[in-house]
Amino acid sequence: MRATLLANIDLCTPFERVRGAEILVENGRIAYAGPKRRARNARTKAATVATIDGRGALAVPGLVDIHLHGGGGADFMDGTAEAVRTVARTHARAGTTSIVATLMTARPAALRAAVGALNEAGEGTIVGLHLEGPHIAAAKRGAQPADAIRPLGAAEVDALIRLSRVPLRIVTLAPEMPGSTPLIRALLRRGVLPAAGHSAATFEQAIRGFEAGISHGTHLFNAMSGIHHRDPGLAGALLLNEEASVELIADGVHLHPAAVFLVLAAKPADRVILVTDATRPAGSRTAPLRTPDGRLYGSTLTLIEAVRNIVRWSGWPIEAVLPLATANPARLLGIDDRKGFLKRGRDADIVLLDRRLGVLEVFRGGERTLRGR
C-alpha cells in the first residue's frame, strides 16, 4: 500500500474552507481530508508515508469541465491521439483533471475518427463525450459547420456508444427541430443527458423540450433564442426551470458579468456549471476565435480562469464559487462519488493554488502531474 500525506495546507471541500489541514492519500484515493489535529486518528497502515509540504497553499478538488473542445493548439476534432494528449495536458496544467471531450457538429466519419483518437490516446482525464450537434438549428449554429447539420438518429448514437471507450454523457440539440422528441427519449433510455443549445426555440417549444426530457442548457444565452419581454425564448425557459442545469462561459466576452450574476440569482446554486467551451488557443492569452462573419468560436479560457473571474467580479470567497467547477459538474455527470470533492473515498485529484488562485501543483489519483514552486 502506498500512502502520501499532503501537509501544511488549507483546503476547500469545495463547500467549506478548512485552515491548517492535511490530506492523506492511499492508493490514489483520499483516506482523510480535514484539520491537522484530527489527522493522527486517520493514520494509514502503510509501512511508510511520504510527506509533501504544501507550504500553506490552498488545496481544491480537481476541476471538472463538461464542455471543452481544445487547447494548446490542438482540438479533439483533429482526430489524432497526440491532439487529445495535448488538449488534456494543457488543461491539466490549469487544474482541470476531468474532461468531457466535446465534439463539434461533423459528418459521421469525422466523429468516428475523433472517437477513435480518444480511444487510442487512453487519456485518463477524459471521463466522457459531449456531442455538440449535429441536431441543431442552422440559424443558431454559431461556429458549427452548416453542411454537417442534420437529424441525429438512435442508430448513429448507438454506433458512437459502441465505439467509444468512455461514456457518451451529453448531446446538445435544438428542441424545435423535427425528430427532437424521439431523439430526446432515445438518449434518456441510453443514460445520455439531452441538452438544449444552438437553438432558435420559442419559449413554448422549449417547454415541450423539457416535457420530453431535456434538463440541461448548453452555454446559456450563447447560440440560443434570448430573452425578450414578449418572447422569453429558450434562455428564459431555462432560467425559469428550477430543475434544469445551465452552463456559463465566464470569460467576460461570451457573457457580461451582470448576466452571470443574473443567472446565479435566478437559478438554484447547484444548477449552475462553469464551462470553458475552450478551443485551440486555450491556455494562451489570445482573444477568442471568431468566424469570418464575426461570430464567437469557443473561448480561450481555462476553468480556473473562469473561477478567478467570478471571484474577482464578485469579491466572494473561493468556497462560494468553486462548486460551480467541481461539485456541480461532477453531480451532473453522476461521478460525484469519485470526483469534485476532497472527501474520504474520492479520487485524489487535488490542485494546489496560491493566494491569487494561480495553480502551483496538480495531483491526479494522488500522482503529481505538475510541480510548481
For the segment 116-170, what is each residue's pLDDT rounded down to a tens digit?
A: 999 999 999 999 999 999 999 999 999 999 999 999 999 999 999 999 999 999 9
- Output the nine-digit C-alpha cell for 71: 487547447
d(CA 71, CA 63): 16
Given this structure, which CATH class describes domain 3-60+341-370?
mainly beta
Q: Give yes or no for a contact between 338 and 97, defined as CB atoms under 8 angstroms apart.
A: no
d(CA 21, CA 343): 12
The set of residues, in sequence order, having a beta carbon less than 8 Å from that of 63 and lying 6+ positions away, is 94, 95, 96, 97, 98, 303, 304, 307, 325, 326, 351
Given this structure, which CATH class describes domain 63-333?
alpha beta
Annotation marks residue 231 as catalytic: no
Give burial (CB, 10 Å; 0-12/13-18/19+) of 46: middle
What is the value of pTM for the model shown?
Answer: 0.96
Residue-level pLDDT, tens digit, the chain, 373 residues: 679 999 999 999 999 999 999 999 999 999 999 999 655 555 666 657 899 999 999 999 999 999 999 999 999 999 999 999 999 999 999 999 999 999 999 999 999 999 999 999 999 999 999 999 999 999 999 999 999 999 999 999 999 999 999 999 999 999 999 999 999 999 999 999 999 999 999 999 999 999 999 999 999 999 999 999 999 999 999 999 999 999 999 999 999 999 999 999 999 999 999 999 999 999 887 878 787 877 888 899 999 999 999 999 999 999 999 999 999 999 999 999 999 999 999 999 999 999 999 999 999 999 998 765 4
Among candidates 67, 71, 132, 64, which has minimal Cα distance to 300?
A: 71
Listed in order, the ranges of the chain carrying CATH 3.20.20.140 are 63-333
d(CA 52, CA 61): 17
- Output the nine-digit C-alpha cell for 108: 459521421
d(CA 298, CA 306): 14
Listed in order, the ranges of the chain carrying CATH 2.30.40.10 are 3-60+341-370
The set of residues, in sequence order, having a beta carbon less than 8 Å from that of 228 and lying 6+ positions away, is none
Assign 226 to helix, strand or coil.
coil
Of the listed 277, 336, 347, 349, which one is catalytic?
277
